[in-house]
Amino acid sequence: MLKIKRILIIVSALLMAFSGYGQKIALLKYRGGGDWYSNPTSLPNLIAFCNKNLGTSIDKDPATVEVGSADIFQYSCIHMTGHGNVVFSDDEAQNLRMYLISGGFLHIDDNYGLNNFIRTQMKAVFPELDFVEIPYNHPIYHQKYDFPRGLPKIHEHDGKPAQGFGLIWEGRLVCFFSYGCDLGDGWEDAIVHGDSEATRTKALQMGANIIQYVFTR
């Protein structure tokens, strides 16, 4: 009975999240010591850009949600970033898995330093899946804004190209991992990193594509 009740709560929350009413996205808070809170102006700026240019009605104040919280099911999209270690408990991994297979979406933005840690932890969430590179013809790159070469390179650190990886569950992209890109840095206030307006615009447009993909898939 408790399991059925939990499923009903999850279904109701997801229906509300995807209905278009009171849209809200959240920042994922995780354990392990990594700075999950980095880029504090990025999500508010992305939300403002989407509301202005996509006609969305996303709450201007992003929520913060913990990996193991039932509140995660209230959000159609959650964003994760940081530079350091990530640790999911077994219960947290199961909660995130249920969220994703129930219709939720996770965008992981590697802020240079997250890659090795998050790949290990997402393997605990989906032991049967591996990250695959998302091809340039995938719809996530071709929403309102067209990115024929995939992710834009926002900051240069290692001379490598920006790459988009994903976890595909039963034919559906449930997790998008922007790597070697610093996408979220490009969403921040211009004064933070000193990026040009053109660079910030590219970053915000790609972020808007991710949001539009989530809301319309």
Q: Go through the chain and tell me how many residues it has.
A: 217
Q: What is the pLDDT of residue 8?
A: 45
Q: Give the mean pLDDT of the chain.
A: 89
Q: Above 50 in pLDDT, residue 210?
A: yes
How far is it, in rounded angstroms, from Cα 43 to Cα 32? 22
Q: Above 80 in pLDDT, residue 78?
A: yes
Cβ–Cβ under 8 Å, residues 139 and 176: no
- Give the rounded percent of residues in the chain with a pLDDT score beyond 90: 72
Instruction: Tell the burial category of 49 from Cβ atoms under 10 Å away from its Cβ (0-12, 13-18, 19+).
Output: buried
Supply the DSSP symbol for 31: B
CATH topology of domain 2-216: Rossmann fold (3.40.50)
Query: What pTM was estimated for this model as a whole?
Result: 0.90
Q: What is the pLDDT of residue 9?
A: 45
pLDDT band, residue 111 (cuts 50/70/90)? confident
Q: What is the pLDDT of residue 112?
A: 81
Q: Above 80 in pLDDT, residue 11?
A: no
Q: Above 90 in pLDDT, residue 193?
A: no
pLDDT band, residue 84 (cuts 50/70/90)? confident
Poorest-pLDDT segment among 65-69, 126-130, 179-183, 201-205: 179-183
Collapsing DSSP to helix, strand or coil, 100 comes out as: helix
The predicted model gives 149-176 an average pLDDT of 92
The residue among 129, 133, 151, 130 whose CA lies nearest residue 142 is: 151
Q: Above 50 in pLDDT, residue 20?
A: no
Residue 25: CA count within 13 A, CB half-sphere: 28
Cβ–Cβ under 8 Å, residues 181 and 157: no
Helix (H) or strand (E) holding 65: strand 63-66
Q: What is the pLDDT of residue 63?
A: 96
